[in-house]
Structure 1
Amino acid sequence: MISSEQIKGARALLGWSAAILAKNSGVGATTIRRYEMGSGIPNGNVQSLLVLKTTLEAAGIEFTGDPLRNPGVTLNLRG
């Protein structure tokens, strides 16, 4: 699973707005913003969180650490 902080961090590394992530994932921008307002693992649809995770990973994001204790993200640039 991924945390709110990881979603925000991944978007920042990619330079994506919530609207861009919504377009690429099919998850609504309002839902993404709601997930990001909290901390820790968002209360929400598990399927939506998995879709966000998969979309961000396909864009080069690697989720690191424990999402509750030391959440992290890394951008792997493909050359």
Structure 2
Amino acid sequence: MITPGQCRAARALLELSQKELAESAGVSLRTLQGFEAGDRELQSLALSAIKRILEEKGIALIRQDDWIGVKLSLQK
């Protein structure tokens, strides 16, 4: 789905704060902070909401055999 590292990297590419992403995805700031720190698992609805917001902003989450990452589409 999405890892804490992918979430942090995606936010960095988009220049989004944790607060901005949390508000857009409808999750609490504390929840997002805990997820990105690796301190908590998120329910599937919260993960889906975060993933949806990032993808709407042009992020592609990449998961292949032995690596994961993110990329940002420059097409708008």
Fold match (TM-score > 0.5):
yes
Q: Which amino acid aligns with 1:18?
A: Q
Deviation at 1:78, TM superposition (A): 2.2
How well do the aligned residues superpose, as a CA RMSD in angstroms? 1.7
Q: Secondary structure of the residue that 1:65 maps to in structure 2?
A: strand
Instruction: Could you tell me which runs of 5 or more consecutive residues in structure 2 were left unpaired when the two chains were aligned.
Output: none
Deviation at 1:7, TM superposition (A): 0.4
TM-score by length of 2: 0.88
Aligned pair count reads 75
Instruction: Could you tell me which runs of 5 or more consecutive residues in structure 1 were left unpaired when the two chains were aligned.
Output: none
Partner of 2:21: 21
- Structure 1 residue runs of 4+, over 3 Å off? none
Identity between Structure 1 and Structure 2 (%): 35
Point out which structure has higher relative CO (alpha carbons under 8 A, 6+ apart).
Answer: 1
TM-score by length of 1: 0.85
Q: Which one has the bigger strand percentage?
A: 2
